[in-house]
Structure 1
Amino acid sequence: MCKVENFFKKSSQKALHKSTSQKALHKKHFTKALHKKSSQKALHKKHLKST
């Protein structure tokens, strides 16, 4: 019984770690995309001013 509990604990921690790392990865990707958008907007604004 103890072994099974231990195994379950380990696997649930692994699953938790996986989901949190995926969330972190998603956050990174999202911030990159957001930054890209904002830099493109800034670039577009500059372009509008120059013409």
Structure 2
Amino acid sequence: MWAYRAAGISLPHSSGSQYTLGRPVAQSELQPGDLVFYDDGTGNPAAIQHVGM
């Protein structure tokens, strides 16, 4: 959140809320600064617990 705030972008606090923003991209399309979400392996957005950049 700090890095995005420094770039003038406001993100919600929870990873689940952040997941609903933007658009999904394939792993091969990831760019620096993209958010990567981690869940329990089910693919259920409600199971997202962590996010990395």
Q: TM-score range by the shorter chain?
A: under 0.3
Q: Point out the structure with the larger helix share.
A: 1
TM-score (norm 1): 0.14
Larger Rg: 1
TM-score (norm 2): 0.14
Bigger relative contact order, structure 1 or 2 (CA pairs below 8 A, ≥6 apart):
2
